[in-house]
Amino acid sequence: QKEVEQNSGPLSVPEGAIASLNCTYSDRGSQSFFWYRQYSGKSPELIMFIYSNGDKEDGRFTAQLNKASQYVSLLIRDSQPSDSATYLCAVPTYSSASKIIFGSGTRLSIRP
């Protein structure tokens, strides 16, 4: 089992709709969870982190965490063409809090 798993996509969502991106992780002791956005040919850009169960909202982005199910998600409301990118889930391991493990990413495409 991979430490951080994501559906590779591509996920195609119409403009203005909600995009839902999912991630599961294997280290039950992990405490914090990150979402990065990566445009083609560019480096990852940190967009959100969450460490408490429940929801965390930042503008059009909402991160959701369920530690019991080892599941974290990212919702993007009112999707825009500029949201088309690969979204990476990243999880620092419990045993080594600074060893941050990335999923393979979900490619999101917003269609006009």
Partner 1 sequence: DTGVSQNPRHKITKRGQNVTFRCDPISEHNRLYWYRQTLGQGPEFLTYFQNEAQLEKSRLLSDRFSAERPKGSFSTLEIQRTEQGDSAMYLCASSLQGLPPEAFFGQGTRLTVV
- Measured from the CB atom, the residue of 2 and 77 that comes closer to partner 1 is 2
Query: Is 12 in contact with 107 (CB distance < 8 Å)?
Result: no
Comparison of 18 and 73: residue with beta carbon closer to partner 1: 73
Positions that interact with partner 1 (CB under 8 A)? 4, 6, 8, 31-32, 34, 42-46, 49, 51, 88, 90, 92, 96-105
Beta carbon of residue 45, minimum distance to partner 1 (angstroms, whole number): 7
Q: Are 88 and 4 in contact (CB under 8 A)?
A: no
Bridge partners of residue 70, in order along the sequence: none
Q: Pairing between strand 54-58 and 61-66?
A: antiparallel
Closest contact distance (angstroms) between CB of 96 and partner 1 is 6
